[in-house]
Amino acid sequence: MTTLIICYGNDLIGNDAFGRAVYEALPEIHEKIFTVQLLPELLEKTQNYERLIFVDAAHGSGDARLYEIHPSDDDTADFHHLGAETFLRLLETLYAKTTKAYMCAGYFEEFEVGLRDGDFGEKAGKAVKLITLLIE
Amino acid sequence: MKTITIDPVTRIEGHAKITIDIDDNGNAVDAKIHVTQFRGFEKFCQGRPFGEMPSLMARTCGICPVSHLVSGAKAGDGLLSIKVPKTGANLRRIMNLAQIMQSHALNFFHLSSPDILLGFDSDPKDRNIFYLMSKEPAIAKMGVGLRAFGQHIIEILGKKRIHPAWIVPGGVNAPLDPALREEILSKIDEKKNDALAALELFKSKISLFPKEIAALANFDTLFMSMVGKDGELDHYDGKIKFIDAKGNTIAENLEPADYQSYIGERVEDFSFMKSPYYLPFGPEKGMYRVGPLARLNIAKKCGTPLADKELGIFKSYAPTQNASFFYHYARLIEVLYCIEKIEELLNEPDILSDHVRAVAKLNEFEAVGMSEAPRGTLLHHYKTDRNGLIEYANLIIATGHNNLAMNAGITQAAKEFVRGDYGQGALNRVEAVIRAFDPCLSCATHAQGKMGFEVAFRRGGDIVDKKFI
């Protein structure tokens, strides 16, 4: 099964660098990209994969988690930033692709510039393990 | 008298609001666009080494950073007082054209096409790219594809899609990889076909909008752009030319470095965006427009076969087009031109040469860099001390050049459409004036002179002091 891992976030905004940290920690054997935001332009590339794994920081408490996601509509989406579910909906609408997809989220309470939680690295490491387990 | 506020203006780059003054009979009498965000790049770059300027100033924008790289690097070339190697200049051109292509695709497909394809009076909740994707997936795919292609070229050349640091004073910092050249060339024909299809689509819709063509910023102004030595479209190099609304030459062969002799800058109390004007005519009569419409009005030819054919059709509507609705049309012709020109440049025999950068020490203490950005002429003016540290910077941004015309345009549209029992479609038409100009407001909020900040000091809920800084 061909898999693309899409890590995203803003590495200047503390814990939002989670996607970047996971991207850098993932072994090179995986197909992976890093982007600041999910944008419609990524649709072209992602249509060629059978499975997508999105990696992002999320607001909340707890460890890194991996779960399946499905296409859905989001009225608040704009072309500067799409949620992963909206991204999947566009993939379905424009390219007739229903792709198996997962979200690997690292949960954090605060997103202050330059400040990262003490367990930031641990959560990123856990995310890498979860992704590797899924793929293997 | 009452005031209608449209806040925020939707489907544009950046943050702005429009106010429309309505008289007692319910008719619009005046309108203004207020750019409410503020940047301050000219100030905080002071003290930085001039070599950092292209990359530093490019941070003002995520849409057209390449244009800032180009103008900033050209100003850097002036400070070094060197000639950029031909291959370095051509690689800069390719990246600039790729950015114009992706930016134009963003405006037409993502921002403006909902009005043109669904209609100005369609349900506001449907007037967006996502609804369009569900209704017209083939067109939406075209837009996504053209934008992705432009961004991919930028990424190939600069190793980053946004804010690449590849363009530097003296040239570019790495040659083109032969395999990547082939990769770009392999997609050219498909993208040309997409651009041609978008043009046909737009042309098929023109007859549906006679009122909008007549009243969405359709008036006499000057036009300004850079133009090549044979009068051809040129986004990278050339001299400045002004024409009037009938196409008569007002001034030509103007040097970018002399801009202060022909561009005046003033500030309005309702916006952080300054309002340049053609200095010899003064602020009242010196209003001019820049960008794709101005460029195609001024250029005698594009210099590429398909775009030249389309330019001929474009000029058949009017030799000098004053309707801002035609910005969209001009934008699509430029998309086609960019694709053709990129192909031409990639086929230059020395495009893979590794002589892409000239090196020198600081030789001048003042320089101006100018290029054509997607939205119009972009100017960077730097002064340094003897150590090459920036003492002064002035930017005139494409969107700023259009400020007076955008304000006149929304006033015209409001007077035409916002009357009595107006509907939401009327307000959308006022916003559509702004979209036609495709302003990039994050780029454009550059103050002249004193910064217009009022800081209020509060204790509890009460203001205890105010300072204007």
HEC states along chain B? CEEEEECCCCCCECCEEEEEEECCCCEEEEEEEEECCCCCHHHHCCCCEHHHHHHHHHCCCCCCHHHHHHHHHHHHHHHHCCCCCHHHHHHHHHHHHHHHHHHHHHHHHHHHHHHHHHCCCCCHHHCCHHHHHHHCHHHHHHHHHHHHHHHHHHHHHHCCCCCCCCEECCEECCCCCHHHHHHHHHCHHHHHHHHHHHHHHHHHHHHHCHHHHHHCCECCCEEEEEECCCCEECCCCCEEEEECCCCCEEEEEECHHHHHHCEEEECCCCCCCCEEEEHHHHHHHCCEECCHHHHHHHCCECCCHHHHHHHHHHHHHCCCCCECCHHHHHHHHHHHHHHHHHHHHHCCCCCCCCCCECCCCCCCCEEEEEEEECCEEEEEEEEECCCCEEEEEEEECHHHHCHHHHHHHHHHHHHHHCECCCCHHHHHHHHHHHHHHCCEHHHHCCCCCCCCCEEEEEECCEEEEEEEC
Condensed to tens digits (0 to 9), the pLDDT of residues B87-111 reads 999 999 999 999 999 999 989 998 8
The residue among B185, B222, B200, B137 whose CA lies nearest residue B405 is: B222
The predicted structure's pLDDT at residue B4: 81
- Confirm if B403 and B394 have CB atoms less than 8 A apart: no
On whether any CB of chain B is under 8 Å from the CB of A94, the answer is yes
Give me the residue from B129, B133, B148 closest to A41, CB to CB.
Answer: B148
Query: Cβ contacts (< 8 Å) between A43 and chain B: which residues?
Result: 144
Q: Do B137 and A43 touch (CB under 8 A)?
A: no
Per-residue CA distances from B440 to B50, B61, B233, B381 (Å): 25, 8, 22, 20
Q: Do A79 and B110 touch (CB under 8 A)?
A: yes
Angle at B195 between CA B189 and CA B197, to 5 degrees: 105
**Non-local CB neighbours of B123 within 8 Å, separated by 6+ positions:** none
The Cα–Cα gap between B193 and B386 comes to: 52
Tokens of A81: 């930033």
Query: Residue B49 — pLDDT band, cuts 50, 70, 90?
Result: very high
For B145-182, how does the pLDDT look when each residue is reduced to its tens digit (9 = 90+)? 999 999 999 999 987 767 778 999 999 999 999 999 99
Structural domain boundaries enclosing A71 = 3-135
Task: Give me the phi and psi of A4, to 5 degrees please.
Answer: -115, 130
At position B344, the amino acid (one-letter code) is: E
Hey, what are B429's tokens?
Answer: 């038409």
Given pLDDT bands bounded at 50, 70 and 90, which one contains residue B450? very low
Percent of all residues in chain B with a pLDDT value above 70, rounded to a whole number: 93
CA distance A106 to A87: 19
What CATH number is associated with residue A25?
A: 3.40.50.1450
Q: Which residue, among A114, A118, A104, has the nearest Cα to A57 in the 3D structure?
A: A104
pTM confidence score: 0.88
Residues 140 through 179 of chain B touching chain A, CB cutoff 8 Å = 140-141, 144-145, 147-148, 151, 161-162
Report percent pLDDT > 90 for chain B: 66
Residue of chain A minimizing CA distance to B134: A93
Q: Which of A57-61, A100-104, B120-124, B460-464 has the lowest mean pLDDT?
A: B460-464
Task: Write down the pLDDT at residue A13.
Answer: 86
B405: closest CA of chain A, how far (Å): 27
Phi, psi (deg, nearest 5) at residue B456: -105, 130
Structure-token pair, residue B373:
């950005």
Which residue, A95, A102, A104, is CA-closest to A46?
A95
CB contact under 8 A, B144 and A93: no
* CA angle in degrees (0–180, nearest 5) for B187-B192-B198: 130
Nearest-CA distance B113 → chain A (Å): 14
pLDDT at residue B451, rounded to an integer: 41
- SS3 string, B102-132, reads HHHHHHHHHHHHHHHHHCCCCCHHHCCHHHH
Percent share of chain A, pLDDT over 70: 94
Task: Supply the angle between the helices B86-105 and B326-346 in degrees, to the nearest 10.
Answer: 150
What pLDDT, in 10s, does the model give residues B316-346? 999 999 999 999 999 999 999 999 999 999 9
Asked if B147's CB is within 8 angstroms of A40's CB, the reply is yes
- Specify the residue for token string 């040309």: B192
Position B406 pLDDT exceeds 80: yes
CA gap B197, B191 in Å, rounded: 10
Superfamily for B2-454?
Cytochrome-c3 Hydrogenase, chain B (1.10.645.10)
Q: Which two tokens stand for residue B333?
A: 């012709």
Question: Token pair of B137, please?
Answer: 């997936």
How much is the pLDDT for B132? 84
User: Residue type for B430, please?
Assistant: V
How does DSSP classify residue A128? H
Asked if B104 and B292 count as a contact pair (C-beta separation under 8 A), the reply is: yes
CA dihedral B216, B217, B219, B220 (to 10 degrees): -160
Question: Which H or E run contains A104?
Answer: strand A100-108
Higher pLDDT, B329 or B44: B329
Q: Using only the alpha carbons of chain A, give its radius of gyration.
A: 14
Confirm or reject contact between A43 and chain B (CB < 8 A): yes
Alpha-carbon gap: B229 to the closest alpha carbon of chain A (Å): 36
Give me the phi and psi of B179, to 5 degrees please: -65, -35
Q: What angle do CA B350, B354, B357 make, to 5 degrees?
A: 105
- How far apart are alpha carbons B374 and B97 in whole angstroms? 9
Task: Give chain A's largest Cα–Cα span.
Answer: 43
**Tens-digit pLDDT profile for residues B15-26:** 778 888 888 888
Nearest to A94 among B106, B137, B161 (CB): B137
Q: Is B110 on the interface with A (CB under 8 A)?
A: yes
Q: What is the mean pLDDT of chain B?
A: 90
> Domain total for chain A?
1
Alpha-carbon torsion angle B117, B122, B128, B130, nearest 10: -80
Name the nearest CA neighbour of A10 among A99, A110, A113: A113
Tokens of B276: 């340049």
- CA-based torsion, B344, B350, B356, B361: positive or negative: negative
Name the nearest CA neighbour of A128 among A6, A26, A5: A26
Give pLDDT, residue B192.
98
